[in-house]
Amino acid sequence: MDTKLIELLVCPVTKGPLEFNAERTELLSRSARLAYPVRDGIPVLLETEARSLEDAELEPQSGR
């Protein structure tokens, strides 16, 4: 996913930043504890389509 696009997008719930998880093809909102799917390269920023993040997924990732 284009990094410039990710920089422009914000969480629709908190208006906070999103992080791209390439492994799961999702945009993560740590502040809202939600993961928004990216389908066919298009972010689906609907709260009803997002899944809840588990505590382990909220831990800082090493190597970034």
Q: Mind listing the pLDDT tens digit for each residue in 25-49? A: 999 999 999 999 999 999 999 999 9
Mean pLDDT for the chain overall: 90
pLDDT of residue 64 exceeding 80 = no
Structural domain of 28 = 3-53
In a domain, 38, yes or no: yes
CATH number where 49 lies: 2.20.25.10
- How many Å is the Cα radius of gyration of the chain? 11
Q: Is residue 46 part of a domain?
A: yes
* Paired tokens of 36: 């928004």
What is the amino acid identity at position 53? L
pTM reported for the whole predicted model: 0.85
Average pLDDT in the 51-58 region?
A: 89
